[in-house]
Structure 1
Amino acid sequence: MSTEHSPQNNDADVIVVGGGNAGFTAVHAAATRGRKVILLERGTEDMAGGNSFYTAGATRIVHDGLEDLQSLVEDDPRHATTVVPPYSAEEYRADLEKVTEGRNDPELTDVLIEEITPTLLWLKSLGLKYRLMYERQAYERADGSYLFWGGLHVGNVGGGEGMIEDHTRVAREHGVDIRYGHRATSLITDDAGKVIGVRATTDDGDEVELHAESVVMTAGGFESNAEWRREHLGEGWENAKVRGTPYNQGDMIAAAQAIGAAEGGDFGTCHSVQWDALCANNESNRELTNRLTRQSYFLGLLINRDGERFLDEGADFRNYTYAKYGKEILQQPGSVAYQVYDSTIRPMLRTEEYDMPGISVQVADTIEELAGKLDVDEKAFVRTIEDFNASVNSDVDFDPTVKDGKNADITPPKSNWAVPVKQGPFYAYPVTCGITFTFGGVKTDTHGRVLNERGEHIEGLYAAGEMLGGLFSTNYPGGTGLAAGCVFGRRAGSLA
């Protein structure tokens, strides 16, 4: 809807819609330029933070190794015995192209890679805190040293919760007006089509209009909307478990399209992971957040209810497969599978994900007994494990810090980290599909300026975070979502 409005009556210079990592980064970029900023967050203060709150805080950056990272990460006595392999711009680009099957926008990719490291250093200068992610991205070796792997090494202190706490503190230090419990519903334009504000509904049911020179949309994708998931991702996706915020309903994508914004990115794929299938509260869990993922799968076997394996658990490092295997689980009978380990591998599983009280697990002294405790074809389950054990290459040493080539010559193969499942007790963790975020949003240029179908900037409108389409399709390298939120949030906030 168009309207006439005098800039002198604006409520702020910039309105940012959505209080996750991308939104706060845009807020900081605008506020540190002296702009008056209002941040609209749909969640109440105890439900705020968007999807970012539920993450581990991992951010993929370019660096030259541990010495180069010292200026970014908090001190840790383990640094003295730690090896962090460099991660180059060329590796970053190759990883994005590989996992998205070449569908990543090359211009957005170039900006992301060039600016992510200086952007994190800038955020640190404002007060955010980062560390090396020992518990998720490193293994302790026999000599007591640590080796990082997979190109993803840095994360926020305190994970997603710590990230949002830091962002919120920094925003308030710069005088940002944070308004919780405000669901933005539509965009206000003037007669020339320029965006001049936002309409929102408060938790009290009040309808409000707020005006500004610019609006930055960082309100997430549509992963929390079962109807949209079924429409865009396909039948069955309405059954996926929502890992993060329940508020990412696609409201602002629809609002932008209503004023002529072009679609951007891949609406038919998403980020989805293996997720605790039977935990009593396995959606939008603010207490356990990311710890309901089950991401040590590459060390064991994945077996469905028919008692069969259905994918190569060791195709690549976890960081390059985990965001697409949730879809594979969704397609199995009952949308459930079981991660299976023996007692030799069990101590290597991520403590924060596999050692909490209340998680779903079955334990047994024999494979036959384990099969009897699961909702599986018992004979097929036992046969699958016996056939796998017989196919493991015994001439190669197991090494989880590299793609070790210790494989199982079976269908489907296990290309790396194939260890016979022989030593009891045995463990089975039921997993389903947990959806994280969708890959479709609005089309922008490299500065986050929202474009119409003619490729023209819709004046006054910007987007970042999950709403910015074009970087990801089918899959993504772990840590690039938060990285993109930082880079393009900062870009949008620097212009708004």
Structure 2
Amino acid sequence: MAALLFTYLLTFLLYLSPQKQHHRPSASGSCCLTAPARLHALEQETQAFTGIDMFTCLPALLTCTGQQPILRGPGAKGCLFALAKIKRSWDQSSDRPERHSGGERRRKQDSYESSRVRMRRAKSSWTVYNHGKSASLLSLSFGLTIIALIMAPINIYDLVVVGSGFAGTTTALSFMETAKEKNNTTAKVALLEVGKKDERAGASRWTMAYLRLDKNNKFDPNWIKLVEKTSKGLADLDYARKLEKEAPLTAQYILDRGVELVHHEEPHVALEFETDGSFAYPKGGGLAIVTALMKKLEEFENAEVMYETEAVKLSLGSDGRVNGVVIRGNDGLLRTLNAKNVMLACGGFEGNPEMLTQYCGPNAVDLPLIAPGLKYNRGAGIRMAMEIGAGTAGQFDMFHAECVDTRTSKPDAVIWGHNYGIVVNRDCSRFYDEGCSRLFESFELIAYDIWRHQNQEAYFVCDSVTMDRMRESWVYSTTDLDPERGETVEELAGKLGIDEERLRRTVEEYNKACPEGAADEFTPNSLDGKATKGILPPKSNWALPIAKAPFYGYPLKTNLTFTYGGIKVDLDARVLSTNNVVIPGLWSAGEITGFFYHEYPPASSVLRSLTFGRLAGQNIADSIKG
């Protein structure tokens, strides 16, 4: 900007200075060409030399905004040499044909196209002349402007992060903090968010953010075995071990930055966690995490957050290194952010109907999203990475799904506890073994069944024995509506909108199959082995009769939470090619990275995003020079 101001000041001073007139013979030794003819000849030479009309390209040049220049010239040295010739030509020439012999004759000759002369003269003020030809005053200004633009430093970020959820925000903050520790005071990061400021962090801001941690913030040691089991050996176990090792440090990381963790002891639910009957979650949910981390990030002067900014394409250098990202702002224009490193942390493809249909089948597009922010997860990061040869991991035709309260629009209104009652479809028929396993081992499988086979309609039914016990727990606190209630099973059916007589018969059949005395000793915190007899499907545990009024129920449907397939990374969060070679300059963390197969081992996704985002930020800072 200072260079441009200097250019215009110099032009103004030159404009005020007196201009001498000189005679200059033509190249052929005869008198000079007329002004219009000379202008026309020089304009043709200029366009032949540059391949572009300078008057036309000026607006494009002036739209350079500190990113990669839109128009590239011969370089500052070449422009300086050309301008020296322009200045010499300007001092030695005149545009007044009256000063040369035969002026009267030439004036008559020029009258034929006098109007064109005026237009060309106006245009010539924006034309750069080379090879020692003359130039107008504004040509000099234009040339100096080009030099200022070429010589101005290009804005290069050390890191551009795509996505401001758990992984993206943690990466940006960890990078800036590590750079500061290394006395790198010039480190710069840009954090891109496709949504508006009040929508930032996508789905991360809506989740309850359950963490598989014990009271000492130690990660569940059983998780790795569970990953191996649920993925049928397909998941990267070294990656899982890395998460187990780093998770306690991640918990401390967010605690040190103002996040308050609640350690919930759960005596009423059979958890699959080996965490002393407890688990953790942030007070205030996922929003509390991203708010605390973003507040710390905004304290850095060289940290820039760009809202309503969409990442479109990765930029590559001639050596194949990722050196930036093409973005589109809310003005619709494309720009390139030059960067030494790019982090992709923009989620899966939950909000992309085409990708859902391609990978998950035709009915996947009908799945409601569990949180508003998922609509921005269109698979852009996965697509951009695959375009340059990135490898993939995770099961692309599977996704994490949960049963939610059909009646509410509240995000993440998950209904738990269906293990301890019965679940029926629209015809009031049971369709699976509700007591097949612990709560977190079965809730996703139920969601799949409701989506695939029950036309997205099911109902959880229990009596006061179950509800009174479970209400002391957390399992029904995610919805903002009380359960439907009836003094009789028929009354409950009416409130749920299903057939009263059919539900009554289903409950009676189920009660007859329950073992005697099952309700006398209700132990929901362990697999009790109390199973039904003589009915299909069976109920393997917690076969308590639904007999004590009042009766309660929730209508259920399945919501899409996140997709499993994504980018393949190594243990340092570096993106790998299809041949397992590191792609220089490209990193990724969070749900965009593929890891899960067949089934989600719960309460681990948030920790995974935070952990590998934190590690990526540190690794990127270590890889650059201050």
* TM superposition score category, shorter chain reference: 0.7 to 0.9
1:458 CA drift (Å):
1.2
The verdict on how the C-alpha distance between 1:431 and 1:360 changes in structure 2, with shifts beyond 3 A counting, is: farther
Change (3 A) 1:151 1:14: farther
Name the counterpart of 2:396. Answer: 267
Cα displacement (A) at 1:54: 1.2
The answer to whether structure 1 residue 341 and structure 2 residue 472 are counterparts is: no
Is 1:97–2:224 an aligned residue pair? Answer: no
The alpha-carbon distance between structure 1 residues 189 and 318, as it changes in their structure 2 partners (threshold 3 A), is same
- Larger % of helix: which? 2
Residue 48 of structure 1 aligns with which residue? 200
2:587 partner letter:
Y
Instruction: Say if 1:442 and 1:468, in contact at 8 Å, map to a contact too.
Output: yes
Partner of 2:327: 200
Question: Is the alpha carbon distance of 1:362 and 1:295 closer, same or farther for their aligned partners in structure 2, counting shifts above 3 Å?
Answer: same
Displacement, 1:407? 2.6
User: Following the alignment from structure 1 to structure 2, what is the Cα–Cα distance between the partners of residues 393 and 256?
Assistant: 56
State which of 540, 543, 554 in structure 2 corresponds to 1:415.
540
- In the TM superposition, residue 443 of structure 1 has moved relative to its aligned partner by 1.1
Contact 1:13 1:213 in 2 (8 A): yes
Deviation of 1:3 (Å): 11
Aligned twin of 1:444: 569
Corresponding letter in the other structure for 2:424: I
Question: Which of 358, 364, 368 lines up with 2:490 in the alignment?
Answer: 368
**For the residues of structure 2 that align with 1:17 and 1:329, how far apart are their CA atoms?**
34
Alpha-carbon displacement from aligned partner over 1:284-328 (angstroms, at most 9, x marks no partner): xxxx332x1111222221111122112222222222222333211
Matches within 5 A, 1:85-164: 88-89=220-221, 91-133=222-264, 137-139=266-268, 153-164=279-290
Equivalent residue letter for 1:104:
A
- In the alignment, the residues of structure 2 paired with residue 452 and residue 27 of structure 1 have an alpha-carbon distance, to the nearest angstrom, of 24
Change in Cα spacing, 1:226 to 1:376, as seen in structure 2 (3 Å) is: farther
Partner of 2:21: none
Q: Does the aligned pair in 2 maintain the 1:40–1:183 contact within 8 Å?
A: yes
The answer to whether the Cα contact below 8 Å between 1:274 and 1:433 also exists between their aligned partners in 2 is yes
User: Structure 1 457/149 Cα, relative in aligned 2: closer, same or farther at 3 Å?
Assistant: closer
* 1:218 correspondence with 2:345: yes
- Give the AA of the match of 2:306: R
Cα contact 2:164–2:202 (8 A) shared by 1: yes
Deviation at 1:122, TM superposition (A): 2.6
Q: Aligned partners of 1:105, 1:356: CA distance in 2, in Å?
A: 32
In 2: Cα distance, 1:194 partner to 1:148 partner: 43
2-structure distance, mates of 1:341, 1:372 = 15
Give the corresponding residue for 1:238: 365
Matched, 1:489 2:610: no
Paired with 1:216 and 1:152, the residues of 2 have a C-alpha distance of 34
Going from structure 1 to structure 2, the CA distance change for 1:400 and 1:122 (only over 3 Å counts) comes to same
- Counterpart CA distance in 1 for 2:615 and 2:234 is 22
Query: Corresponding residue for 1:80?
Result: none
Residues 369 and 560 of structure 2 are in contact (CA less than 8 Å); yes or no, is this contact kept in structure 1?
yes
In the alignment, is the contact (CA less than 8 A) between 2:156 and 2:340 conserved in 1? no
Q: What's 1:474 paired with?
A: 598
Report the equivalent of 2:129: none
1:331 aligns with 2:457: no
Task: Work out the CA distance in 2 between the residues paired with 1:150 and 1:435.
Answer: 30
Unaligned runs of 5+ residues in structure 2 are 1-67, 73-149, 180-186, 621-626
CA separation in 2, counterparts of 1:419 and 1:174? 58
Partners of 2:350 and 2:563 within 8 A in 1:
yes
Partner of 1:28: 173
Distance 1:36 1:355, change over 3 A: closer
**1:323 maps to amino acid:** E
1:199-243 deviation per Cα after TM superposition (whole angstroms, max 9, x unaligned) = 222234343321111011110001122232222112211111101
How big is the alpha-carbon RMSD for the aligned residues of Structure 1 and Structure 2? 2.9
The 1-side partners of 2:323 and 2:464 are apart by: 61
Displacement of 1:151 in angstroms is: 6.2
User: Which structure's residues are more often strand, by fraction?
Assistant: 1
Of stretches 433-442 and 325-334 in structure 1, the one that deviates more from structure 2 is 325-334
| 1:352 CA drift (Å) | 6.8
Q: Is the Cα–Cα contact under 8 Å of residues 338 and 430 in structure 1 kept in the other structure? A: yes
Whether the 8 Å contact between 2:403 and 2:557 is mirrored in structure 1 is: yes
Compute the displacement of 1:37 (Å).
1.4
Answer whether contact 2:433 2:540 (CA < 8 A) is retained: yes
Query: Residues of 1 paired with 2:205 and 2:228: CA distance?
Result: 28
Structure-1 separation of matches of 2:155 and 2:323: 9
> Is contact 1:3–1:191 with CA below 8 Å preserved after alignment?
no
Sort the Cα spacing of 1:473 and 1:429 in 2 relative to 1 into closer, same or farther, 3 A.
same
Give the whole-Å Cα distance in 1 for the aligned partners of 2:286 and 2:452: 29
For the 8 Å contact 1:138–1:148, the answer to whether it is kept is: no
> Is 1:306 equivalent to 2:427 in the alignment?
yes
CA distance in 2, matches of 1:375, 1:382: 14
Distance in 2, matches of 1:221 and 1:402, equals 35
What do residues 61-118 of structure 1 show as CA deviations (whole Å, max 9, x unaligned)? 3x5xx4x35xxxxxxxxxxxxxxxx8652x1212222333433211211111111112
Secondary structure at the counterpart of residue 580 of structure 2: coil
Q: Structure 1 pair 233/9, CA: closer, same or farther in 2 (3 Å)? A: same
The offset of 1:149, in angstroms, is: 7.0
User: What is the aligned counterpart of 1:459 among 584, 590, 595?
Assistant: 584
In structure 2, the partner of 1:72 is none
SS in 1 for 2:424: strand
Inter-partner Cα distance in structure 1 for 2:390 and 2:472: 42
Q: % of aligned pairs identical?
A: 30
| 1:299–1:418 CA contact under 8 A, matched in 2 | yes
Whether 1:295 aligns to 2:424 is: no
TM-score (norm 2): 0.68
> Which residue of 1 is the match for residue 406 of structure 2?
277
1:183 has 2:335 as partner: no
- Segments of structure 1 that go 5 or more residues without pairing to the other structure are 70-85, 141-146, 282-287
* Number of residue pairs the alignment of both structures matches: 457
Higher relative contact order (CA 8 A, sep 6+): 1
Question: Taking structure 1 as the reference length, what is the TM-score of the superposition?
Answer: 0.85
Return the index of the structure with the highest Cα Rg: 2
* Residues 390-428 of structure 1 deviation map (CA, whole Å, 9 limit, x = unaligned): 222335532122222233334222222222111222222
| 1:346 CA displacement | 2.1
Residue range with higher mean Cα deviation, 320-329 or 300-309: 320-329
Cα distance 1:149–1:420, how it changes in 2: closer, same or farther (>3 A)? farther
Q: Secondary structure at the match of 2:504?
A: helix
SS at match of 1:268: coil
How many Å separate the matches in 2 of 1:415 and 1:453?
44
1:55–1:357 CA distance, 2 compared to 1 (3 A): closer
* Whole-angstrom distance in 1 between the partners of 2:500 and 2:487: 15
Deviation at 1:162, TM superposition (A): 1.1
